[in-house]
Every structure is written in structure tokens, then in C-alpha cells.
Amino acid sequence: MSLDIVQIPADPSNYTRNRAAQGGRVTHATVHHAAGTSLQGVDNTFRTPGRSASTHYGVQDGQVHQYLPETDVPWSDGSWASNISTVSMELVDAGGAPDWPVSEATFDTAAQLVADILKRHGLGPAVKGVNVCWHQMYSATACPGPWMLRNMDRFVALVNKYMEVPVTKEKKVQMYAYNGTDAQMWRPVLVAENAYTLESKAKPGYFLGVAGGAHRAGVLIQAQPRMANAARQQFKLVHYADRKYVPAWAAPLQIVPCTGNGKGLRLDVKAASKDDGAALQLYAANATAAQKFVIYDHGDGYWSLACIGTGTVVDLAAGGR
Ligand SMILES: [Zn+2]
């Protein structure tokens, strides 16, 4: 996440210092609305001495202003029990009474901010009314307004979308028309009896592998960082008719995953699709051409793996970028 947060310190008369010293610990985020359309208006309120009000953050469209550190206690929720355990924020409205809507950009930025708060305090995933809360839960008030209350389920869902760990190391593998690029070149290494690993030329250190090491129909083939002696990254080449092992240059052949000791499943182009981008998966062995492959040995230590049924080759999507 890359929220730009501008520090606009609240006047010290408007909050309590040092949450921990007060015995507090963050358990939830609290959403408010500003009852106004100006972030500067929120800034001014909290900077004015003696207002006896504050939140940690103000949000308008892509802007986030921070008024006090999360280690301090805001005077926001009309409840000491909540104040001492919350990180609170004002969402600036895009319209007035009675509905008090906020813009989609404000909504989205606030969801990113809440996701970041829940992550940093180890509180996720987001649960409505548990760790994603709103002013009305603690005080007799209309805050955060009808529009925000109506959209709270959507807000919590968006927070959870932003909380997903975005980085998976695995890279997508697909079937694609042959184009001779490194994304379609795989370096075979014989690691056991007729069992090969196939390393990407475009992304060295990445090997064709069965997603999650699972052994069932429909599981995708992907490119994975090297694992030592992992069945999920080893494949056998067998003749499709008599299942005898064959030399790599003898075509056609089936590619058998070493997961589940190779029983029953083969590499298979999903739905026998000839389209670029079609999925390569595990599927029950059958006699269709969607499971028959030929190997083109480029003579430089790399193979291309072409499916007879579709005419497309095994391809590292976007070169693994
Ligand atoms: Zn409020």
C-alpha cells in the first residue's frame, strides 16, 4: 500500500497522550463522517485549542491527514472504552444531509487505510462490528451517516480485499502459440528414473510445478521457485498408448506428474482449448490429443513442449514478470 499521509498535528488539548500508559491497546478501527465536505475543515477543528475532539486520520479522495499518532488516544467515539482501544478516522462527505455520502475515492482510500491499520495491529481479517466499527456503535449519534451505514458491508469486503497478501511467488503458466521466446523454453534435468525437472529460461530458478503439490483433476500447472526433491516439480514422459517410458525425442507422449506417484493424472490443456492463454492442468488420463505432447529439442539445452491437440506450447505468462 502506498498511502501518502500528511501530518497535521492536532492541538494537545484535544486528545490524551500515550494509549499504553492509559492501559489501552488497539482492537478496532472506528469510522466517522465529517458532516462536511472539506478536509481542511476537519484539520481546522482538530488544530483549534479546546475543541475536545479529534480522530487519528481524516480522509478525502486520495488524501489522508494524520492528526495524532496511533499511540495516542483520540476523543472521537464518545466512549472512553472505545477511544482507548480504537484507531479512528473522519471520512469527508461528498454531499450533505440527510444521506451524507462519501465519494468512491474516499471510500476506497479509507478501506486501504483500515486494511493497513488491521494489518499493523495484527487484527485481521476485517469483521463488521468487531474490528471495523462506526461511531453509532458507541454513542447516540447518526455518525457515520446513512450512506456509510448502508455501505458498511461493502466497505468491510473492500478492506478484506486490500488485506489479502498480494504477493504470490508462483508464476502463471499458460498455453500459447509458439513464438520462440524464452518464455516457451524449458530446461530439462533428469533427476530420477525418467523424472525431469523443467526450469524456465525466461525466469531461471523457476520450475514447472503442480500448484500446491495437489494431486487431483483441475489443479493448475505453474512456475514455482525451486524446491529440493519435490514431486510437484518432477514429471515423467510416457508413451500415451502403452505407458512405457520413451526417449524425449519420441513423440507423441504424455506428461505425468510425480505427485501421487503419477497415478491416474496427466498434464492436460483445459477443455482442449486452442486459445492463447488456455490453462495447463492435471486431468484424468484419457486418449485425447489435449494430453499428447511433442518435445522440440532446441539443441541448446532447452525444450519446447507442444500439445498435439491444440498446437500451442507451454508458456510462462508475461515471461514471469
Ligand atoms: Zn463520529
CA 239 / ligand 1 centre spacing (Å): 70
Per-residue pLDDT of the chain (321 residues; tens, 9 = 90+): 568 899 999 999 999 999 999 999 999 999 999 999 999 999 999 999 999 999 999 999 999 999 999 999 999 999 999 999 999 999 999 999 999 999 999 999 999 999 999 999 989 788 899 999 999 999 999 999 999 999 999 999 999 889 874 445 789 999 999 999 999 999 999 998 889 999 999 999 999 999 988 888 999 999 998 887 788 999 998 876 655 555 555 568 889 999 886 678 999 999 999 999 999 999 999 989 999 998 888 999 999 999 999 999 999 999 988
Q: Across the strands, what pairs with 236?
A: 195, 256
State whether the Cα torsion 223-225-226-231 is positive or negative.
Answer: negative
Q: Residue 168's pLDDT is what?
A: 58
CA 164 / ligand 1 centre spacing (Å): 28
Parallel, antiparallel or unpaired: strands 206-210 and 221-225: antiparallel
Rg (C-alpha) for the chain, rounded Å, is 28
Q: pTM of the prediction?
A: 0.55
CA 89 / ligand 1 centre spacing (Å): 9
CA 135 / ligand 1 centre spacing (Å): 5
Q: Torsion over CA of 66, 68, 70 and 76, rounded to 10 degrees?
A: -100
Structural domains in the chain, sorted by start = 5-163 (3.40.80.10), 171-320 (2.80.10.50)
**Chain-centre distance of CA 53, in angstroms?**
36
- Strand residues in the chain grouped as ranges (E): 5-7, 15-16, 28-33, 57-60, 63-66, 73-74, 86-91, 132-134, 171-176, 186-192, 195-200, 206-210, 221-225, 235-239, 253-257, 265-269, 278-284, 293-297, 303-307, 313-316
Q: Residue 150's pLDDT is what?
A: 97
Q: Residue 190's pLDDT is what?
A: 92
CA 160 / ligand 1 centre spacing (Å): 23
Q: Residue 165's pLDDT is what?
A: 45
CA 59 / ligand 1 centre spacing (Å): 13
CA 112 / ligand 1 centre spacing (Å): 19
CA 140 / ligand 1 centre spacing (Å): 10
